[in-house]
Amino acid sequence: MTARLLRGWRVVVGVAVLLVVLLGVDPATVGAAVTRADLRLVIIGVLGLTAVHLVSAASWRTIHGRMTGRWLPWREAVPVFYAAQAIGGVTPANLGGDLHRAAVLRGSGQSWGSAVAPLLVQRATSYLALSALAIVASAILAAHAPMAGGLALVGLAVAIGVAGMAWVLVSPPAPLRDLRDRITGGAPDPMRATGPAAIIGIGSGLAFHGAAIGFTAVIALAVVPGAPLLPVLAALATARLALAVPVTPSGLGIQEGILAILFTALGLGSSAALAAMLLARLSLLLTTVIGVVALVRARHHPDAAAADERLPDASLVGR
């Protein structure tokens, strides 16, 4: 199966799962919930979900700089990151976005290993941060909706498993080192400050996922005014674990299904969950538009990134 067919198949799976979820609700009820939503809160939530990727862009730049000594210019790092989000938005677990960032750095003269290793650290620590939020969320859900606690724990186990696999790629034991080197294209360059980079990754991961959950909660409250904030945040944190499952792009369908179950357990209704997620998905469209613009601009200036990224040692570059 070619890569293109594989990507297309996963999109189809995501849409199919979403359609199955929609079959369990009244489309008219979902539509009515969307039309009744507070437009001001929806705009705040969508713009916030679009802008919050700046946190991850800053995290990538900082982790990469700490580990390689090469600090990417902000004017290049941010457009490359949003372009990666546009690509990653249609690939499972955003893996296409990671490959795009690695390819851009590789094209600027960096080794494949030095381009990939910081990405692995960021992804691993991001999942660890999301798992930490899910631990708290599972406790909250267990108190407000006991039937939802088990689902939260299952999702948490999946996220921890994915994070563990990423850490094996970053710092593998001897028996797995050859496998890691094949994946990264050869033995990576010596990496510096892996510990501080991991701390930065966890902190920025908490900030990114926490802010994304918060802005999605704003949209949920626009759909269901007066909904209990803490349980809503917990349900959204648990549903967000679908991002760690590399089956559908951006957890499409899976995230909606989990949230529908949790909202039903909380007495808010599955229609409200689907309406909130449909509105939140508007941020994915906006992010994709920004990313496509960045890709088009980069295509017209193919040598700019390579010229800017041939930087001196980090000690000579402003941070």
- Give the three-class secondary structure for 156: helix
Nearest by Cα to 74 from 91, 94, 96, 57? 57
The predicted pLDDT at position 296 comes to 84
| Segment (H or E) for 207 | helix 194-223
Residue 293 has pLDDT above 70, yes or no: yes
> What amino acid occupies position 205?
G
**Taking the CA of residue 46 as centre, how many other CA atoms within 13 Å lie in the half-sphere pointing to its CB?**
21
DSSP state of 72: P
Residue 319 has pLDDT above 70, yes or no: no
The predicted pLDDT at position 42 comes to 95
Report the distance separating Cα 7 and Cα 73, nearest Å.
32
DSSP 162-199: HHHHHHHHHS--HHHHHHHHHHTTSSPPPP--HHHHHH
Q: Give pLDDT tens digits for 80-127.
A: 999 888 887 666 667 778 888 888 888 878 877 778 888 888 888 888
Q: CB–CB of 272/245 below 8 Å? A: no
> What amino acid occupies position 220?
A
Cα angle 141, 143, 148; round to 5: 35
Q: CB–CB of 83/295 below 8 Å? A: yes
The predicted pLDDT at position 316 comes to 31
Report the distance separating Cα 56 and Cα 101, nearest Å.
13
Report the distance separating Cα 31 and Cα 282, nearest Å.
15
113 vs 261, higher pLDDT: 261
- Unique residue bearing structure tokens 């990423």: 166
Q: Give pLDDT tens digits for 16-31.
A: 444 444 445 667 888 8
Whole-prediction pTM: 0.79
Nearest by Cα to 74 from 84, 86, 65? 65
Q: Give pLDDT tens digits for 141-182.
A: 878 776 655 665 666 676 667 666 656 655 666 666 666 666
Mean pLDDT of 44-70: 93
Which residues, including other chains, have CB under 8 Å from residue 298's CB and lie 6 or more apart? 79, 80, 83, 304, 305
Which two tokens mark 127? 């999942």
Report the distance separating Cα 233 and Cα 33, nearest Å.
19
Most confident of 25-34, 171-180, 203-212, 264-273: 203-212
Which two tokens mark 187? 């033995």
Report the distance separating Cα 105 and Cα 46, nearest Å.
30
Which two tokens mark 115? 């381009």
Mean pLDDT of 237-254: 74
Report the distance separating Cα 66 and Cα 193, nearest Å.
6
End-to-end CA distance of the chain: 44
Torsion angle (degrees, nearest 10) of CA 200, 201, 203, 204 = 110
Within 69-145, where are the H helices? 74-88, 95-107, 112-144
Which two tokens mark 275? 């309406």
The predicted pLDDT at position 70 comes to 85
- Unique residue bearing structure tokens 């269901």: 224
State what percent of residues in the chain have pLDDT above 70: 66
pLDDT band at 249 (very low <50, low <70, confident <90, very high): low
- Give the three-class secondary structure for 249: strand
Nearest by Cα to 104 from 308, 313, 318? 308
